[in-house]
Amino acid sequence: MKRIFSIFLIALVSGALLSISAFGGSSHTKYKKTTLKNGLAVIIKSNPDSRVLGVNIIGKSRVLLEPSEQTGIADFVNRMLTKGTTTRSAEELSKDLDAIGANIITNDNPYIPYDDRYTTPAYTFVKFETIDEFSEKGLELLSDIVKNPSFPEGEIRKTKMQVKRLQAMEEESTYKACRKLFYSVLFSFHPYNRPILGKNETVESFTRQDLLDFHKYFYAPENLILTVVTNYPPDKMLKLVRKYFGDMRPSGKSYLQFSVPEKSRVKKTAQFRMEKEQVYIY
């Protein structure tokens, strides 16, 4: 679904840059777009008036790259990124992030209504923010989180329970049940109909090795886009990005691209009845 995917991707990148740089524009604002030798796409917006470092890392083709027997594994891997790395425990990560006033989000908050604008079958996201004076330390921390998750067995068990609770919540939410039905009908023969959270049985089947293998494939640099908003000059920030992300190893594998769904020649309708005094139209 190359064209539609491109539209979604442009919207995400543009929205991220605008939302992070909420301090307004500047006549000195500069942009830089490049691809590192390892295949990582990098977009930098430099605004000297900003006091925030904002980074988005987008993993392309979320559900398309999931094996059919492992639906939901991309979401699961993202939930595990902050549960510890090969050099830091979860507690150490949390302490180091707090020390620089950093905030990292790898999944939308299910307890905030409609806070799911980034939850899409097309891509995963990691959003990171800190203040400008901690830019290098922030990039070092972020690179460790993205490159070196350790997937502790205890955290895997906890995350499985968390995802199962979220799956149950989706079944009770009129909005999310309606959206799920909409995607399943509109994209009945397309990967977009796959559940982002996966299914109960697929999530239960995930092993630590499954997560390591998928992370190595999905979080390869050629499948990622890294966007940065900073007050550093573009070339200075690019040097730091190369320092902390330039050593990521390409997978050397091919990556599928979304195909354009076939046009529907008939009108499609679907209903799902719930035990609620509420109607939701999608």
The CATH code of the domain that includes 71 is 3.30.830.10
CA–CA distance, 272 with 173 (Å, rounded to integer): 12
CB-based contact 141:96 (threshold 8 Å): yes
Residue 114 has pLDDT above 80, yes or no: no
Give the contacts of 129 (CB within 8 A, at least 6 positions apart): 20, 52, 53, 54, 55, 102, 103, 104
DSSP state, 58? E
Residue 232 has pLDDT above 70, yes or no: yes
Q: Which of 55-59, 114-118, 125-129, 256-260 comes out lowest in average pLDDT?
A: 114-118
* Helices (runs of H) and strands (runs of E) counted in the chain: 9, 6
Q: What is the mean pLDDT of residues 240-253?
A: 96
Let me know if residue 107 belongs to a domain: yes
**How many domains are there within the chain?**
1
Let me know if residue 253 belongs to a domain: no
Task: Output the pLDDT for position 225.
Answer: 98
Task: Output the pLDDT for position 211.
Answer: 98
For residue 207, what are its two tokens?
Answer: 């092993």
What percentage of the chain reaches a pLDDT higher than 70?
Answer: 87
Let me know if residue 24 belongs to a domain: yes
Query: In sequence order, what E strands does 47-105 have?
Result: 52-60, 103-105
Give the contacts of 151 (CB within 8 A, at least 6 positions apart): 80, 83, 84, 208, 211, 212, 215
Let me know if residue 276 belongs to a domain: no
CA–CA distance, 203 with 103 (Å, rounded to integer): 27
pLDDT band at 182 (very low <50, low <70, confident <90, very high): confident
Let me know if residue 37 belongs to a domain: yes
Q: Which of 22-26, 31-35, 94-98, 136-140 comes out lowest in average pLDDT?
A: 22-26
Task: Categorise residue 109: left if φ over 0, alpha if ψ from -120 to 50, beta otherwise.
Answer: beta
CA–CA distance, 227 with 57 (Å, rounded to integer): 6
Residue 265 has pLDDT above 60, yes or no: yes
- Per the structure, the complete domain to which residue 140 belongs is given by 2-245
Length of the chain: 282
Task: Output the pLDDT for position 91.
Answer: 97
CB-based contact 245:144 (threshold 8 Å): no
CA–CA distance, 102 with 131 (Å, rounded to integer): 7
Task: Output the pLDDT for position 129.
Answer: 98
pTM over 0.85: no
pLDDT band at 163 (very low <50, low <70, confident <90, very high): very high
Let me know if residue 279 belongs to a domain: no
List 45's β-bridge partners, or say none: 31, 229
Let me know if residue 264 belongs to a domain: no
CB-based contact 130:53 (threshold 8 Å): yes
What percentage of the chain reaches a pLDDT higher than 90?
Answer: 61
φ, ψ at 55 (rounded to 5°) = -130, 135
H-state helical runs in the chain: 2-20, 73-80, 90-99, 135-147, 153-172, 174-186, 200-205, 208-218, 234-245
Query: In sequence order, what E strands does 110-236 have?
Result: 123-131, 224-230
Let me know if residue 226 belongs to a domain: yes
The SS3 call for residue 120 is strand
Q: For residue 101, which of 135, 146, 55 has the smallest C-alpha distance?
A: 135
